[in-house]
Amino acid sequence: MISSMTGFGRADVQNENLRIRVEIRSVNHRFLEVSIRAPKSFSSLEHRVQELVQKRVNRGKVILTINLEGDRDSVVSLQLNEDLVNRYREIGDDLRANHGVSGDLDLATLLSLPNTIIHDSEEMTDESGWALIKPPIDEALDSFISMRIREGAALATDLLSRVEEIRSAVDRVEVLVPEVVDKIKTRLQNRLADISNDLEYNKFRLESEITILADRSDVTEECVRLRSHCEQFQKSLEGSKPAGRKLKFILEEMHREVNTIGSKGQNTHISQEVIFMKEEVEKIREQVLNIE
């Protein structure tokens, strides 16, 4: 099953300290290009994120964004600085007893004094950070790839219908080929009959050249090859491996055969079929650019 190179996926995870959102989006690209946008605290993990994406995505320009809400850089615990608080209270008692200062040291005032609360920060390690972001990345990748597969299925349906239209056009061309060859032979023989009354000529040689010229107008072989390319195109679409590049190469061969039919087929109806097939090939080319 083919996949589109465009897609989007998102995942949200909430724990005690953080809300983590991962978004993945992609557009067409000749190769795989992964860009990661994440807080600085996760910069050392970018190579792991790259490897995770590369295992599941083959082509496309992929942008993966990690957003955090809450404490981004550390897990913080708060502790009371008891020694300092006791010292503040002793100073308050001294001020009241010895310096004539009235009033009590209330909770709000105490908490506002410097360093009464100790911020005990434990910096996030690579392993703890990876354990934090890997689950939402996996979930976002699942959603992202599912969307690419759905879009790929829609592309495949459209492409198969256009390939079938080309097959039908080839069938119509093949019906016209014998008639075209016979008309060319008849026309040349009539012209030679006209000039034979006035000129001496090698009849055997000219008849051979007539046959060769008629054969050159026979596009049966091109039709057979074009039909074969259509079969290869369909098998590649229905295969399990990424097929974008292969489909592009097959399409080039299809385009070449259509052009040859157009140059050889000396018939108005064949020319009309060639124009139709060229239009379908061009539409297929535009869609193939979206396939992984």
Can you tell me the mean pLDDT for 234-247? 90
Exposed/middle/buried for residue 219 (C-beta within 10 Å: 0-12, 13-18, 19+)? buried
Percent of the chain clearing pLDDT 90 (strictly above): 49
Residues 257 and 66: their CA atoms lie apart, in Å, by 49
d(CA 244, CA 6): 13
Q: What is the rounded CA–CA span in Å between residue 61 and residue 237?
A: 22
Domain 7-72+128-148 in this protein, CATH class: alpha beta
pLDDT by residue (tens digit) across 22-57? Answer: 999 999 998 999 999 998 888 899 999 999 999 999
pTM higher than the cut 0.85: no
**Better pLDDT: 210 or 152:** 152
Residue 123 has pLDDT above 80, yes or no: no
d(CA 31, CA 72): 33
- Going from N- to C-terminal start, the domains of the chain cover 7-72+128-148, 74-123, 150-288
> What would the mean pLDDT of 104-121 be, rounded to a whole number?
72
